[in-house]
Structure 1
Amino acid sequence: MGQQVFLPKFHIEECLEAVRECLEKGWTGLGYKTVEFEEAWKKYTGHTNAHFLNSNTAGLYLAVEILKEKYGWADGDEIISTPITFVSTNHAILHQNMKVKFADVDEFLCLDPADVEKKITEKTRAVMFVGYGGRFGRLDEIIAICEKYNLKLILDAAHMSGTRVNGVFPGTLNGIDVTVYSFQAVKNLPTADSGMICFADSELDSICRKYSWLGINKDTYERTSSTGNYKWRYDVDYLGYKYHGNSIMAALALTQLKYLDSDNARRREMVKIYDECLASNNKIHIIPATYEDECSFHIYEIAVDNRDALMNFLAENEVFTGVHYRDNTEYGMYSYGQGTCPRAHEISKHIVTLPLHLGLSDDEVRGIAKLVNDFVG
């Protein structure tokens, strides 16, 4: 079927056994395995708090809403974000009737700290940083800017599962208010779809748990006693949502977590092969990474002059690629940002995502690189 841009690797027998345990227990919803995975994620990353959700997108929506409520932000206030991201990042801001203020990207395709500082106004309340492809970029400089201007910092870590900087998970750094991960179907830690939200503030974690379960102050698992008696009296503290994760997804995640570091190590091996094969071609620009020895490398990006023609050529040779991402200011709802981020706009016309998944052999990676060189050279 050719080489896909994404192809998740599941440890099938172990996953089935973990799911079987849920089915035999008769508990597939919130609680049980979701609690177990939250504890495992905290132990793995060092986060103080972790709440399992049905998606990264749900986590981003909750992050903005809860911070807005907590700190009294008004409709029309601004959050600085990137145009090089999946639209869910910026939709989370619009959903709260706030404005996305676009800042340009740097060579890592993460937010450029210099442009972020230029875009701060009296209405700025927070920065939304996307760890593009698992990259750290200049997150440390963004943290310093947020501290300088008393801004909150949301880390969209959808690509960053397993990324470390000098042994530390970036989302745990002081100055980051909330980090949101993705365990969507093709992410480095794949399930069918799920995510994790990690507030630095335990009070906000507690509020988030209510918001994600329709505002109810106790989940179903907590309301079932060891004798099986169902405690049906509860209160509803917030106008919440059905955003929580379930035990089936958590069972998959617990299994996949055991292999995340070794899987990411293999990704870095493939990245090294791509780099070695493509680096000498001066018509190909490789998107670099900071701390690449510890980067999760969810995607491998290059930029070329004739991107669409290259993608068509590779498809003819059964190598299927992608684009991550289209400049968000090209979408109608964000068109007010056009012209404000020239680097992002230009690079988005040239970037292409090459296959980078655990089903590839070294020779297949070299073969893809050869096709790219043959066309672009």
Structure 2
Amino acid sequence: MTIQVLKPKYHVEECLNEIRECLEIGWTGLGFKTVEFENKWKEYTGHENAHFLNSATVGLHLAVEILKKENGWENGDEIITTPITFVSTNHAVLYEKLVPRFADVDEYLCLDPEDVKRKINDKTRAVIFVGYGGRVGQLDKIIKICKEHNLKLILDAAHMAGTRVNGQMPGTWDGVDVAVYSFQAVKNLPTADSGMICFQNKKYDEICRKLTWLGINKDTYARNSGTKGSYKWKYDVEYLGYKDHGNSIMAAIGLVELKYLDETNEYRRELARCYNEMFKNEHKIQIIGAPHADECSYHIYEIAVDNRDSLLEYLQENDIYPGVHYRDNTEYEMYSYDNGKCPNAHIMSNRIITMPLHMYLTKDDVKMIAGKVIEFVNAQ
């Protein structure tokens, strides 16, 4: 049996029942379950605003676009961001003709506050903080820096569904202007693909809802609800918008999986503790730690080793398929202008390896996987 790095596990019958309800009433698009999911997400997280989207990628773009338009940013202004992330984080900046300015990462593979301060200049308008693997990193220090320099803060919370600090979701902290979550297929709260954008500012949430429905100021579900009369079909188009909203089929799955998110995250933490116990005395293996580990979502579990690529091959030979999250983005041609300016990110990008971590794994599986890693590194 092969072991994959990430693998979603659904509560199939419950999901099918929720989806069946959509099919039976004939409403699978925007509205109905999407409204219900937004409300449940706000209740779960404490966010005051939440808009369901077809992906976290579009959420990041919308976050940048709205903050740019509403705050008078100009083309060529800069957003400080991380090189250790999926490219969608930094593409969102380029979409709006802004410049991603890369800062280095800390021991958690999150933004290093000291390097962020060094990268601030008169063109800096915002910071994007990626909660790598669900880790909160030094987000509190980043918030303080943003307040001191009057910068907006975007929290890329793609990995952070269910992460808390002392019981509170980091996306709701004072100083976070917008948080974007992912419910893509292998995330902790899996659908097929979807996301949620949560603005602190109600006005921005209202603008976002129009932008995600082609700029139209009244969605189809709203026009089919409430007061009768032909006028309800009349609407205005206020923005050149997109087709970015989520649908009720994805929301139906999300509603089910949200009920189990805390339970599944706790199991992820148990598996992470098992890995930690296996690796703790191995000096050739660096565990990527997590502050507030007892409340971390642990979307991914990372270690760093020398000869990483050889370890990948060795594990694959044993039917174990780990991953790499992520390649230093400044190694990509479009971001190469900052190559060499984030030395720790560059080093770690060539050493990190993502261990399998999902709900199909047992602790015995983890011990076997860790044993193979230890066997390899000690043979070097």
Instruction: Give, in angstroms, the shift of residue 100 of structure 1.
Output: 0.4
User: What secondary structure, in the 3-state scheme, does the structure 1 residue paired with 2:222 have?
Assistant: coil
Alignment correspondent of 1:335:
336
Q: 1:286 corresponds to which residue?
A: 287
| Residue 355 of structure 2: aligned partner | 354
Q: Secondary structure at the match of 1:311?
A: helix
Secondary structure, aligned partner of 2:223: coil
**Does 2:9 align with 1:21?**
no
- Matches of 1:376 and 1:3 in 2, distance apart? 20
Structure-1 residue corresponding to 2:243: 242
Match of 2:117 in 1: 117
Unaligned runs of 5+ in 1: none
How far, CA to CA, are the matches of 2:316 and 2:301 in structure 1? 17
Which residue in the other structure is 1:57 paired with?
57
Give me the whole-angstrom Cα distance separating, in 1, the residues matched to 2:276 and 2:377.
15
Query: Deviation per CA, 1:203-224, whole angstroms, max 9, x where unpaired?
Result: 0000000001000001100011
CA distance in 2, matches of 1:25, 1:256: 22
State the 1:340 CA deviation.
0.6
1:90-239 equivalences in 2 (<5 Å): 90-225=90-225, 231-239=232-240
- Identical counterparts, % of pairs: 66
Residue 229 (structure 1) shift: 6.8
User: Normalization by structure 2: what TM-score?
Assistant: 0.98
How far apart in 2 are the matches of 1:373 and 1:22?
49
Equivalence for 1:303: 304
One-letter code aligned to 1:268: R
The CA distance in 2 between the partners of 1:128 and 1:226, in whole Å, is 40
Indicate whether 1:31 and 2:31 are aligned: yes
In structure 1, what residue type is equivalent to 2:184? Q
The whole-number CA distance in structure 1 between the counterparts of 2:226 and 2:44 is 29
Q: Which amino acid aligns with 1:56?
A: A
Q: Per-residue CA shift, 1:288-310, capped at 9, x if unaligned?
A: 00000000000000000000000
**1:86-134 superposed Cα distances (whole Å, 9 cap, x missing partner):** 0000000000000000000000000000000000000000000000000
Name the amino acid aligned to 2:365.
Answer: E
Secondary structure in structure 1 of the residue aligned to 2:358: coil
**Moved >2 Å (runs of 4+):** 225-232
Q: Distance in 2 between matches of 1:17 and 1:229?
A: 33
User: How has the CA–CA distance of structure 1 residues 227 and 22 changed in structure 2, closer, same or farther, with 3 Å as cutoff?
Assistant: farther
Shift of 1:227: 8.2
Q: Measure the CA separation in 1 of the matches of 2:51 and 2:76.
A: 29
Which letter maps to 2:375? Answer: D
RMSD after superposition:
0.9
Distance in 2 (CA, whole Å) between partners of 1:210 and 1:101 is: 29
Unaligned runs of 5+ in 2: none
Distance 2:225 2:326 in 1: 48
Aligned to 1:367: 368
Secondary structure of 1:129 counterpart: strand
CA distance in 2, matches of 1:227, 1:123: 49
Give the letter aligned to residue 359 of structure 2: L
Q: Secondary structure at the match of 2:181?
A: strand
The 10-residue stretch of structure 1 (216-225 or 156-165) with the greater mean CA deviation from structure 2 = 216-225
How far apart are 1:228 and its partner, in Å? 8.1
| CA apart distance, 1:279 | 1.1
Q: Secondary structure at the match of 1:49?
A: coil
Paired residue total? 377
